[in-house]
Amino acid sequence: MFNNIQSYFKKRISHTFAAMTSRKKQIVRTAAQLFKQRGYSAVTMRDLAAALDIKAASLYNHISGKQEILTQLILEVAHKFTSGMHAVQLDGDSAFAKAEKLIALHIKIAVEHTDALAVLNTDWMHLEGAAYEEYISLRKKYEMDFKQILHDGIASGEFKNLSLETMLFNLLSTLRSIYLWIPKKSATEVADLKKELPVILLKGITV
């Protein structure tokens, strides 16, 4: 039942973003930059219009308001994490290899969707109604699946028998902050991160 609901939302979000006009995509990208810089609550539609050098009234020809933009930004990224987790779960890899792939997934999304990821991490609580419930559901499911991989690693003797909550907190607290680091680093440093971060993060829990 849950998987069917998730599949429905994933298809709906994918269709919504694919159907966006180039102008609407530009609006969403610019809004992401402003939300990241100032915070969702501090940005007005007039601010967004000024950044785009258009009249505020013209924005409403493409978007209903800030809440629609926030929903699109956050749910698109959230579904990328969900899709990535699903792909990792389907692999017949060891728990350690799956954990490595999830770390790589976080880095990839942080590099490709830096602004949107920043908005997700700092402004998700401003989502409303069904969008809020959907995000919370996706987040909880992702954390539950990550925890299961860690549990499997303990059971197989790959990971130390430590608290799952502590292990998950240690991993996600670092992974969720990568977007802060990415814009300040060179391509070489990002390449080093992709290679070295899995080693550093997993070393402490590996048997």
What residue ranges define each of the domains in the chain, with the CATH number in brackets? 2-203 (1.10.357.10)
Amino acid (one-letter) located at 109: I
Q: HSE (CB half, 13 Å, CA atoms) of 84?
A: 22
> What pLDDT score does 23 carry?
85
Mean pLDDT by 10 residues, the chain (207 residues): 49 55 91 96 96 92 94 97 96 94 96 96 97 98 98 97 97 95 90 94 94
**144 class by beta-carbon count within 10 Å (0-12 exposed, 13-18 middle, 19+ buried):** exposed
The model's pTM: 0.87
- For the residues of 118-146, what is the DSSP string, one character each? HHHHHHGGG--HHHHHHHHHHHHHHHHHH
- Cα(29)–Cα(32) distance, integer angstroms: 5
> What pLDDT score does 13 carry?
55
The answer to whether 165 touches 205, Cβ cutoff 8 Å, is no
3-state secondary structure of 206: strand
| Cβ-proximal residues to 42 (8 Å cutoff; 6+ apart), any chain | none
> What pLDDT score does 2 carry?
44
> What pLDDT score does 21 carry?
80
